[in-house]
Amino acid sequence: MSQAPMQLYGYFRSSAAYRVRIALALKGLACESRPVNLRTGEHAFPEYQAVNPQCLVPTLVTFAHSLTQSLAIIEYLEEIHPEPPLLPRQPLERARVRALALTVACDIHPINNLRVTHYLADPLDQDEAVRQRWSQHWIGLGFEAIERELAASAFTGRFCHGDEPGLADLCLIPQVYTARRVAAPLDAYPTILRIDAACRQHPAFQAARPEAQPDAPPELRN
């Protein structure tokens, strides 16, 4: 069997890697999975540091080049394989979609990822209940703003922007998955939940879900 032209280094539960997996699946691009276990510290091993000096996931390796940062990777995929598009054609609409995506990728996710919660635990000595409340707070703050935008905008359709999934959905759905994992209340966000339900019926989102990944624990895999 020939090697896939791209390799994606990621972790099954990483929401940033989850975004890239959805993009690859939507575009039908072949990609070999290279799991990096964040829980056991594989991301800090010298072998992976040589691939990604930040020691973060995801990393997409293509043509012997390592691409990092999920949104940069997704934009690359959009440029090399523009169909189906992840961004609308009109500049104002593109800006709206990017803003929704960045609300998740820049304002919610970075302060709730594993290295932040680990730092809260050690050296800041915060217990699991405090760390969970931390995550719930920042997710709720971001989701309140996203819900207002989605509920009020005429651009919102079956998905975040129109009736086909795009960049905003790629960022939102992994964050909803994380919200459920940390037991964040979601009843106040009916539009987000409606879009999440639509995405979870889509084959590309189903293929990219954490439970479907080869490095998911057997008790979660399905």
CA distances from 206 to 26, 58, 201, 203 (A): 11, 19, 7, 5
99 close to 142: Cβ distance less than 8 angstroms: no
Angle among Cα 21, 27, 32 to the nearest 5 degrees reads 45
3-state secondary structure of 162: strand
Where does the pLDDT of residue 5 fall: very low under 50, low under 70, confident under 90, or very high at 90 and above?
confident
3-state secondary structure of 144: helix
The model's pLDDT over 37-58, given as tens digits with 9 standing for 90+, comes to 999 999 999 999 999 999 999 9
pLDDT value, residue 4: 63
Spatial separation of the C-alpha atoms in residues 74 and 95, rounded to whole Å:
16
The model's pLDDT over 156-210, given as tens digits with 9 standing for 90+, comes to 999 999 999 999 999 999 999 999 999 999 999 999 999 999 999 999 999 999 9
Spatial separation of the C-alpha atoms in residues 58 and 69, rounded to whole Å:
7
175 close to 181: Cβ distance less than 8 angstroms: no
Please state the pTM of the whole predicted model: 0.95
CA distances from 217 to 11, 20, 25, 97, 211 (A): 11, 20, 22, 33, 8
> Which amino acid type is present at position 222?
N
Residue 177, burial from CB neighbour count under 10 angstroms (0-12, 13-18, 19+): middle
How many CB atoms sit inside 10 A of residue 85's CB? 15
Q: Is it the case that residue 2 has pLDDT exceeding 60?
A: no
DSSP state of 6: E
Q: Is it the case that residue 3 has pLDDT exceeding 80?
A: no
Spatial separation of the C-alpha atoms in residues 220 and 155, rounded to whole Å:
36
Spatial separation of the C-alpha atoms in residues 107 and 95, rounded to whole Å:
16
